[in-house]
Structure 1
Amino acid sequence: MSRSRFAAFFTSLSFFVIVALVAGVAAGAAAQNAHAPWLTAALGALEGLGQVWLNALRMTVMPLVFSLLVTGIVSIADAAATGRIAARSLVVFGLMLVAATVYAILAGLGLLTLWPIDPEAGRAMLAGIPSDAAAAVGRAAQTNALDAFLSSLAPSNVIKAAADDGVLAVVVFAVAFGFAATRIRADLRRPLAGFFEAVAETMVVIVHWVLLAAPFGVFALALGVGLRAGLGVAGTLAHYVAILCLSQIGLILLIYVAVTLWGRISLARFARAAAPAQVVAVSTQSSLASLPVMIERARDWLGVPQASAGLVLPLAVAVFRITSPVANLGVCLYVAQLNGIELGLGALVAGGLTAIAVSIASVGLPGQVSFFASIAPICLAMGLPIGVLPILLAVEVVPDIFRTVGNVTADLAATRIVAGEDITAEE
């Protein structure tokens, strides 16, 4: 089955995951109100199977992230070697990703300070989530001091670090490995990149298989939430969706400001140019499906030469996903407040660096796959538990719309910024 068909399948699967979430919470709440110990025990046993499903997802994180990072870095290095416009594009993409990551931390912390999670509702929701001992170890390492964070960047044994969920150490090693691979001979680099691409594709297939059981897994985990939190969990999930959407709306507004300042174009003109592509993004939730419209709007409405639009936009769709660090860090910051965890500077820096890395690694993965593959490494790098992620995955449909709209808007903005000097000279 092709990746596009996989993506379409998992889009339809989202409906069943939402149904499973609602059914699990409702069944758990009903058992709670029934005051029947035998029923509670039976549902508790079923809840344990949800942890098995979560572990099946978790086992793919390290090899998937490592392989995707290596192949992503090699492809970016090859793109940079293709010419001046490609190299300039990658610089613009990188600067925008770093700025988006800083914004993500500030916006996430700010929104949760102004509109915090209800403590009682949060505790009730977490009461039904399996504990995560590994995250507790990581949290102690990341939040005690900045020097602990720095020492974790270069572990003496990267295999042991991976076994201990030291995601940031694995990411640093993968980045170094990927850049080192770009320095070896092409006849050696190609089979090496092909090997890791094959490993990544294999891990994706395993994740696809695990996600086939997503309705059951989410149902089993939601049972525990319903047993202990009741129907009140709906308010917390709605609050989560609102926080994530607000942070991404803020990012989209900043993209408009950036393209006005550095793209040398009026706000009204850019808004008119981007609107049709944004409509396609909302309807398809796919940057790739929006690519033909983006090329047409960039050429005919933004004044970008056909050659530049034809190079920069496909490159942006391939390696640039600006909403990834914003949305993913937003989830992680929400998980931190939900668990009552105060994040130190080391944890925030670790999360930011990992978010930038996985934004490159997760490009091209279907939404259901990329949610866990992108957010779990960041959570682990920040020392946060990941048991609640499958519950949040079930309501990812609405935030995912804003992810796609933000990516499409940023792709068009970056294209105008990259070609800005040439356009200004012509105009």
Structure 2
Amino acid sequence: MNRIFTYMIVGAMILGVAVGWACNQYLSPDQAKAAADGFSIITDVFLRLIKMIIAPLVFSTLVAGIAHMEDAATIGRVGVKTMGWFISASVVSLTIGLIMVHLLQPGVGLALPAPNAAAATVDVSTFTLRDFITHLVPKSIVEAMANNEILQIVVFSVFVGTAVSAIDDKAPAVLALVEQIAQIMLKVTGYVMRTAPFAIFAALAATIATQGIEVLFTYVKFVGGFYLSLGILWGLLVAAVVLIVGPRALKLMGAIRQPALLAFSTASSEAAYPRTLEELQKFGLSRKVASFVLPLGYSFNLDGSMMYCTFATLFIAQAYGIDMSIGQQITMLALLMVTSKGMAGVPRASLVVIAATLAYFDLPEAGLLLILAVDHLLDMGRSATNVVGNSVAAAVVAKWENQIDTPQDEQAAPLKA
């Protein structure tokens, strides 16, 4: 199924480029614009579908996740160390994405017209700490969900999840209902994402019809810049694990090569989970630590996905010539730190997170279509990065807990086999 979907994505990209180029070359500017408007019907529907699932998806996944956090608390020391590493890695990932997109500026020069006047005149200088703090708390959760106010939904979800977790029997009926809603929304999200090839075709065709084939060079810069950023993150992760675990950690990178390649080829880090767990145990990590850190990592340690959210959001702002203040960029990092934690296992989760972030900062939501065309290609890289990041986290926590076999044990095991 993944292979068929990949072929559909690639086919949609090729067909979209070809149709867009033909419209740009053989139609008058007015006719090309009319054709782009026709294609935009498909992309508008896709954007509305994305917006439709944001509120219930964030609420249900966050409440369910927080309600189960007591399981991690019972493990005590290991849970604290694991979460400490996850938070640190998240900050590093988001910050690298922020710095690299400013250095490379892949979106600068596109000068796309804002879809509406409001988006074109966003006044980021009016941001104040008071406005931000008071805006965190919803006056009505119904209003917050209706307007897709992501931070307000997160705040309400944290309160509900914490309350459920604090009840002795964990309100089983409520928790079961929330988990069922989460499962339903995950299924709905899967249905929505199946329409992605049509949206990709329409987005590319509309963009190239009006902007010309030259816009593809922007995509090359965007994709190349993101993979360069991932390379820097990989280097830091490897350096960190070698520093903490020792030179032996280099063998870990070789051990997880196949799971990382599987995640890259399928664009799904979840697909590589069983093999990753197996390889970590072969490397010498205790099953107790590996079985705890890896599942938690798939919910709280999506290094590649978080970097992508920062990189892509600011790329869109650059493409529309919108400057974001330092305060707003710091707020964006904090927002992504939280929202990315509730999106584990969601197909194309980054698109949902980015859509919510664009709406929160009044950035043109149509900018999502810019990255949609190459999202699958980038998803491959961030999925592999998620596998590497979670494997490094498991090794680091195991080292801190003295739960890694000695080199002698590691060398003796193959001889017995």
Q: Tell me whether 1:47 sits opposite 2:40 in the alignment.
A: yes
Closer, same or farther: CA 147–395 of 1 in aligned 2, 3 Å:
same
Query: Which residue identity is paired with 1:352?
Result: L
Query: Which residue identity is paired with 1:198?
Result: Q
Distance in structure 2 (CA, Å) of the matches to 1:69 and 1:372: 17
Q: Which residue of 2 aligns with 1:338?
A: 319
TM-score w.r.t. length of structure 2: 0.85
Query: Which residue identity is paired with 1:356?
Result: M
1:99 to 65, 83, 88: 88
Query: Which residue identity is paired with 1:152?
Result: H
Q: Tell me whether 1:407 sits opposite 2:373 in the alignment.
A: no
1:5-84 aligned at under 5 Å gives the runs 8-9=1-2, 12-36=4-28, 37=30, 40-81=33-74, 83-84=75-76
Closer, same or farther: CA 277–56 of 1 in aligned 2, 3 Å:
closer
Q: Alpha-carbon deviation of 1:73?
A: 1.3
Q: Which residue of 2 aligns with 1:221?
A: 203
Query: Which residue identity is paired with 1:342?
Result: D
1:49-69 Cα distance to aligned partner (Å, 9 max, x none): 421232122111111111111
Q: Tell me whether 1:88 sits opposite 2:115 in the alignment.
A: no
Q: Which residue of 1 aligns with 2:224?
A: 242
Distance in structure 2 (CA, Å) of the matches to 1:148 and 1:43: 39
CA contact (8 A) 2:97 2:308 kept: no
Q: Tell me whether 1:194 sits opposite 2:194 in the alignment.
A: no
Closer, same or farther: CA 312–337 of 1 in aligned 2, 3 Å:
same
Q: Alpha-carbon deviation of 1:249?
A: 1.8
Q: Which residue of 1 aligns with 2:374?
A: 395
CA contact (8 A) 1:96 1:322 kept: no
Distance in structure 2 (CA, Å) of the matches to 1:260 and 1:220: 46
Q: Tell me whether 1:382 sits opposite 2:364 in the alignment.
A: no
SS in 2 for 1:388: helix
Distance in structure 2 (CA, Å) of the matches to 1:316 and 1:295: 12
| Count of aligned pairs between the two proteins | 405
Identity of aligned residues (%): 27
1:18-46 Cα distance to aligned partner (Å, 9 max, x none): 43244334323322333444565355234
1:310-321 aligned at under 5 Å gives the runs 310-317=291-298, 319-321=300-302
Query: Which residue identity is paired with 1:68?
Result: T
1:188-231 Cα distance to aligned partner (Å, 9 max, x none): 1x221222222223233333333333333333333331222111
Q: Which residue of 2 aligns with 1:5?
A: none
CA contact (8 A) 2:12 2:198 kept: yes
Q: Tell me whether 1:279 sits opposite 2:261 in the alignment.
A: yes
Ranges in structure 2 where 5+ consecutive residues have no aligned partner: 407-417
Q: Tell me whether 1:423 sits opposite 2:390 in the alignment.
A: no
Closer, same or farther: CA 43–194 of 1 in aligned 2, 3 Å:
same
1:308 to 289, 292, 303: 289
1:224-258 Cα distance to aligned partner (Å, 9 max, x none): 31222111121111111112212222222111122
Q: Tell me whether 1:111 sits opposite 2:100 in the alignment.
A: yes
Q: Tell me whether 1:169 sits opposite 2:189 in the alignment.
A: no
CA contact (8 A) 2:20 2:206 kept: yes
Distance in structure 2 (CA, Å) of the matches to 1:57 and 1:162: 14
CA contact (8 A) 2:303 2:385 kept: yes
Q: Report which stretch shifted further, 229-238 or 412-421.
A: 412-421
Distance in structure 1 (CA, Å) of the matches to 2:345 and 2:404: 35
Q: Alpha-carbon deviation of 1:136?
A: 7.0
SS in 2 for 1:168: helix
Distance in structure 2 (CA, Å) of the matches to 1:141 and 1:171: 23
1:254-265 aligned at under 5 Å gives the runs 254-264=236-246
Closer, same or farther: CA 22–114 of 1 in aligned 2, 3 Å:
same
Q: Which residue of 2 aligns with 1:155?
A: 138
Distance in structure 1 (CA, Å) of the matches to 2:43 and 2:145: 23
Q: Alpha-carbon deviation of 1:74?
A: 1.6
TM-score w.r.t. length of structure 1: 0.83
Q: Alpha-carbon deviation of 1:182?
A: 0.8
Q: Which residue of 2 aligns with 1:4?
A: none
Distance in structure 2 (CA, Å) of the matches to 1:426 and 1:34: 67
Closer, same or farther: CA 251–35 of 1 in aligned 2, 3 Å:
same
Q: Alpha-carbon deviation of 1:363?
A: 0.8
1:270 to 236, 243, 252: 252
Query: Which residue identity is paired with 1:398?
Result: L
Closer, same or farther: CA 136–62 of 1 in aligned 2, 3 Å:
farther
Distance in structure 2 (CA, Å) of the matches to 1:206 and 1:111: 34
1:207-218 aligned at under 5 Å gives the runs 207-218=189-200
Distance in structure 2 (CA, Å) of the matches to 1:113 and 1:187: 45
Query: Which residue identity is paired with 2:78?
Result: R
